Amino acid sequence: MKFPVRNFLVLLFFIVSSCSGPYYLKETHTSQTRIKQDSLKAVDSVIVKMIAPFKQKLDAQMNEVIAVNDVDLSKERPEGSLCNMAADAVLAYANKTYERPVDFCVLNYGGLRIPSISKGNITLGKIYELMPFDNQLEVVEIDGKTCKQLLDVVAKSGGWPVSGVRMNILQSLADSITFKGQLLDPNKTYTLVTSDYIVNGGDNITMLQNGKKRTPLNYKVRDAIIDYLRELKNNNQTVNTKKDGRITITQP
């Protein structure tokens, strides 16, 4: 039986250390070596050849056109068309899968990792760039007071991606909050879909841990967006999400 080199080195270390006394640093020497820029471009041809089939398959998957975009989508505050598209996609998925209608969606602004998607073809790879994390969707049932606390955090940050809710930011607080034209009722129970990152307290969202009911949807945020875009394409529709005033700011 072959003895692995790694095991041999570990064994040798213990033998040497057990047969000698402690070592102390006596002196140090430093030197500098200039690395030629060309040397950084060196490639291991064996590795390149080995991964080539996998790379070709992955490239083909990531280059799949899953939707066509009529307009440039931008990540902006207090409201952006890219933010609106992502939140609309998540809310649409939740309303298809949850046991009862979901009132609204909130996603964290930092979760969208690219500033824009240009007009034209949208590839699968572009959505992986937009949402590289494997965050899962969850629905949380919360009362109106908790809704206000959550949307106050959104307001203080200048605006996050939302869908199903409209609000004004007044002196860094959420104001004039409405759901389908109805003002927020502090005593009513609302259903929120968001990511597990948010539900677990990410970005200072601590109030959701007191929700009345928490239901994992066992589906990634990214996949909900991909499904939304593919469905548009399958129905011969294009993406034309625009800003619609769902978050506004009143200057004091």
Tens of pLDDT along the chain (252 residues) come to: 444 444 444 444 444 444 445 444 455 556 666 655 555 556 667 676 666 666 677 777 899 999 999 999 999 999 999 999 999 999 999 999 999 999 999 999 999 999 999 999 999 999 999 999 999 999 999 999 999 999 999 999 999 999 999 999 999 999 999 999 999 999 999 999 999 999 999 998 999 988 899 999 999 999 999 999 999 999 999 999 999 999 999 987
| CA 83 from centre of chain | 11
Contact (Cβ atoms closer than 8 angstroms) between residue 225 and residue 89: yes
The answer to whether the bond into 78 is cis (omega within 30° of 0) is yes
H or E segment to which residue 12 belongs: helix 5-18
Distance from C-alpha of 166 to C-alpha of 37, rounded to nearest angstrom: 53
pTM of the full structure: 0.79
pLDDT at 45: 72
SS3 236: coil
pLDDT at 193: 98
pLDDT at 116: 97
Domains and CATH numbers, the chain: 64-250 (3.90.780.10)
